[in-house]
């Protein structure tokens, strides 16, 4: 069957063809034409018009065309039910409907800006909706963390902070130090706020409990110490420049790296590196 809509699609006019092709009409063919030609061309092509005023498949009250198609064809797929408010919110500027709305709009707007051919834009957009459907169906509860260390920390807090401290140094605290040292990622970005949000625990409480078992350091101080140790290892064992080391250890720039390095070691990175080359500091010591 032929389907036709307005040219220059962004959200609904990409999402609807994806929905139609996957759940309604697998042999569908789509046409994009100027707004004032949709009805005329629909008659000539024997096509179903959508997402234009005055036709069956268009916005109805607070629902977008994607919603209308779902209802009309009784699509009961749970993943589609999750996608619907995302598409609706992105298409109608109601970004509060889902955390993914603003992101979908940003991607769609950028694609429409970059791709001027509507058929090519539809092909590219199909990849986006395939991915969104897969996420809605299989990956909603999968959370992204920057490194294995982050998930370890989260797991530890889940098990420990909710139970409270017994006054005895728990085995996990000793073990965790070793695990972090072994696995620290060069882009470690976990913050106290991340942990607090993840666990719904007051940041002050998290900070207080962490310092009890980690060298009497706050979370930020402890992670900063590890990043500096990682930087020292790079200086001792690699040919990376100081700016590259700053980047690899997660500092915003070389100036920030130099300031924190001196604060932690008493020496600037350049002096530390020169001392290594002069043999005043033994690598891996």
Strands of 2-6's sheet, edge to edge? 29-33, 2-6, 47-49
Which one, of 90, 100, 116, 126, lies nearest residue 12 by Cα? 90
In this structure, the answer to whether residues 159 and 105 fall within a common structural domain is no
Q: Where are the beta strands (DSSP E) in the chain?
A: 2-6, 29-33, 47-49
What pLDDT is recorded for position 66?
A: 97
Mean pLDDT along residues 41-67: 95
Which of 89, 106, 139 is a domain's end point? Answer: 139
Answer for the pair 196, 206: CB distance below 8 angstroms, yes or no.
yes
Q: What rounded mean pLDDT belongs to the chain?
A: 81
Mean pLDDT, range 141-145, rounded to an integer: 61
User: Domain of 216?
Assistant: 148-277
DSSP 8-state symbol, 31: E
Judgement on whether residues 163 and 120 belong to the same structural domain of the protein: no
Centroid of chain to Cα 156: 23
Question: What is the average pLDDT across 32-49?
Answer: 96
User: What does the DSSP 8-state code read for residue 238?
Assistant: -
170: left (phi over 0), alpha (psi -120 to 50) or beta: beta
175 or 95: whose pLDDT is higher? 95
- 41 and 134 share a domain? yes
pLDDT digits (tens, 9 = 90+) for 65-109: 999 999 999 999 999 999 999 999 999 999 989 889 999 999 999
pLDDT at 197: 59
Instruction: Give the CA distances from residue 43 to residues 1, 7, 25, 119, 279, in Å, rounded to whole numbers and listed in that order.
Output: 13, 17, 19, 21, 84
Query: Do residues 243 and 254 touch, judged by C-beta distance below 8 A?
Result: yes
Q: What is the separation, in whole angstroms, between the first and last Cα of the chain?
A: 73
> What DSSP string describes 80-95?
HHHHHHHHHHHHTT-G
Lowest mean pLDDT among 9-13, 93-97, 171-175, 266-270: 171-175
pLDDT at 142 over 70: no
**284 assigned to some structural domain:** no
Looking at residue 275, its pLDDT comes to 87
- pLDDT classification of 240: cutoffs 50, 70, 90: confident
- Per the listing, tokens 């409990």 go with 209
Where residue 219 falls (left for φ over 0; alpha for ψ -120 to 50; beta otherwise) is alpha
Tokens of 161: 């902070």
Closest CA to 96 of 13, 88, 64: 88
**Domain final residue, candidates 111, 139, 167:** 139
What does the block give as tokens for 249? 């250890």
Out of 64-68, 231-235, 243-247, pick the least confident. 243-247
78 with 129, same domain: the answer is yes
- Note whether 221 and 105 are same-domain residues: no
CATH of residue 162? 1.10.10.60
139, 174, 204 - which closes a domain: 139
The pLDDT value given to residue 284: 46
* Higher pLDDT, residue 35 or 212: 35
- Three-state DSSP state, 40: helix
What pLDDT score was predicted for residue 53?
93
Range with lowest mean pLDDT among 174-178, 223-227, 251-255: 174-178
Question: Counting runs of H as helices and runs of E as strands, what totals does the chain give?
Answer: 14, 3
- Tens digits of residue pLDDT in 182-228: 444 434 455 556 555 555 556 666 666 677 767 777 777 777 888 88
């Amino acid at each position: 069957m032929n389907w036709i809509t307005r040219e220059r699609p962004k959200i609904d006019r990409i999402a609807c063809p994806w929905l139609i092709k996957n759940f309604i009409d697998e042999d569908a063919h789509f046409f994009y034409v100027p707004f004032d030609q949709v009805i005329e061309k629909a008659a000539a092509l024997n096509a179903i018009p959508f997402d234009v005023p005055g036709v069956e498949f268009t916005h109805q009250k607070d629902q977008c065309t994607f919603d209308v198609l779902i209802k009309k064809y009784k699509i009961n797929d749970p993943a589609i039910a999750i996608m619907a408010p995302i598409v609706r919110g992105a298409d109608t500027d109601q970004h509060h409907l889902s955390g993914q709305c603003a992101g979908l709009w940003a991607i769609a707007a950028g694609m429409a800006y970059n791709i001027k051919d509507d058929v090519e834009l539809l092909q590219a957009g199909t990849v986006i909706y395939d991915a969104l459907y897969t996420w809605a169906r299989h990956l909603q509860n999968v959370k992204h963390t920057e490194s294995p260390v982050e998930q370890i920390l989260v797991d530890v807090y889940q098990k420990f902070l909710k139970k409270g401290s017994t006054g005895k140094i728990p085995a996990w605290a000793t073990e965790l130090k070793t695990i972090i040292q072994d696995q620290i990622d060069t882009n470690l970005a976990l913050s106290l706020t991340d942990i607090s949000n993840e666990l719904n625990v007051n940041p002050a409480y998290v900070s207080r409990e962490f310092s009890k078992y980690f060298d009497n350091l706050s979370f930020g101080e402890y992670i900063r110490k590890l990043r500096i140790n990682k930087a020292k290892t790079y200086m001792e064992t690699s040919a990376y420049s100081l700016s590259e080391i700053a980047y690899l250890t997660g500092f915003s720039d070389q100036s920030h790296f130099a300031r924190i390095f001196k604060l932690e070691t008493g020496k600037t990175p350049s002096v530390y590196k020169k001392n290594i080359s002069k043999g005043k500091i033994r690598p891996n010591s």
